[in-house]
Amino acid sequence: MKNKNDVLLELRDVLKSIPVFDLINPQPPKDHKIPCFEKSPLVKTTVREFQGPESKLNVKIYENKERSNEKAPVLLWIHGGGYVLGTPDIDDGLCEKFVLGAECVVISIDYRRAPQFPYPAALKDCYATLDWIVENAEELNIDKSRLAVAGTSAGGGLTAALTLLARDKNYPDIMFQMPIAPMLDDRNITKSSYEINKEKFPNLWNREQNEIAWKMYLGETSSDEVSQYAAPSRAEDLTGLPPAYVAIGELDLFRDETMDYVNRLIQADIKVEFHLYPGCFHGFEKVFYNTEISKKARNEYIQALARAFRKKY
């Protein structure tokens, strides 16, 4: 069974600095400083509002200030937070790096979150954003034939769900998906979902937090009624999905459900690039930790996106 001694040496100080977070009574941890990033003078950020399926929605748009008139590829980015937490602001630095490293426009959606808005609110908002992007491609000066979707954690789960939904609706055409450490399976039946628990890893996203978050997201839905669009691990048919880049840490609660999903994508003849990072936990690369492994992982998925936009998959 995994324990703290299995954490990569250069990440142990990071692990110690992560506060324990209470999902039932979410309060900002005192005296916890989130690692900051240096904002690039080359990236412009704007906020746009449009009418979603049930409410007004806001997106943050990141683009190169010096971009040419040529239509740029576009990434729909979906933030994480267990379907219950987070905002697009937490990923400002990463979205800027996507803009510069993958030479694209990034659009990050502020979707509705549980428990106030359980499934399918978040998915509806993400799909409405895809539709808005395609419908406004000319104004945004983007190439809608090079549309990718990506996200981490719950955002990774929504990425997988969104590609399933777009496939089944036959609209829009997503060329590439990038679920990073995705939250895919509400059943919590894998070995890794038992290994990463509150007793051994109280300050990581652990089994107990995961169970609470899924209950909040699924609301009154019974286990035998959970849709593949809520928990993509339940999807039986993965054919016809776009090529994928997937990455996760060895000490991530979602490790086994992610590896199972990757294996089934491969069996469905979907091109997949998969990275497993030994000794790494959930979110190890996410909040701009400056360890070598964190920078390496971020750079690898930024470059994967760049390859996808050059149609190298």
Residues taking part in catalysis? 153, 252, 282
- Going by C-alpha positions, the residue among 288, 229, 231 that lies closest to residue 258 is 231
- Asked whether 182 and 246 are in contact (CB, 8 A), the reply is yes
Residue 275: strand pairing partners:
247
- Preceding omega of 232 cis (within 30 degrees of 0): no
Buried b (16+ CB within 10 A) or exposed e, 205-217: bbbebbebbbbbb
Residue 293 burial class via C-beta count within 10 angstroms: exposed 0-12, middle 13-18, buried 19 and up: buried
Q: Which helix (H) or strand (E) holds 247?
A: strand 244-251
What stretches of the chain show up as alpha helix (H) in DSSP? 12-17, 92-102, 121-135, 137-140, 154-169, 191-195, 207-218, 255-267, 292-309
Tell me if residue 136 falls in helix, strand or coil: coil
Rounded CA-CA distance 47/59 in Å is 6
Evaluate the omega torsion of the peptide bond into residue 182 and state whether it is cis, within 30 degrees of 0.
Answer: no
For tokens 């704007």, what's the residue?
Answer: 46
Three-class SS of 43-83: EEEEEEEEECCCCEEEEEEEEECCCCCCCEEEEEEECCCCC
CA distances, 11 to each of 2, 4, 278 (Å) = 15, 10, 11
Residues 116, 121, 123, 127, CA torsion sign: negative
Distance CA(66)–CA(135), nearest Å, equals 24
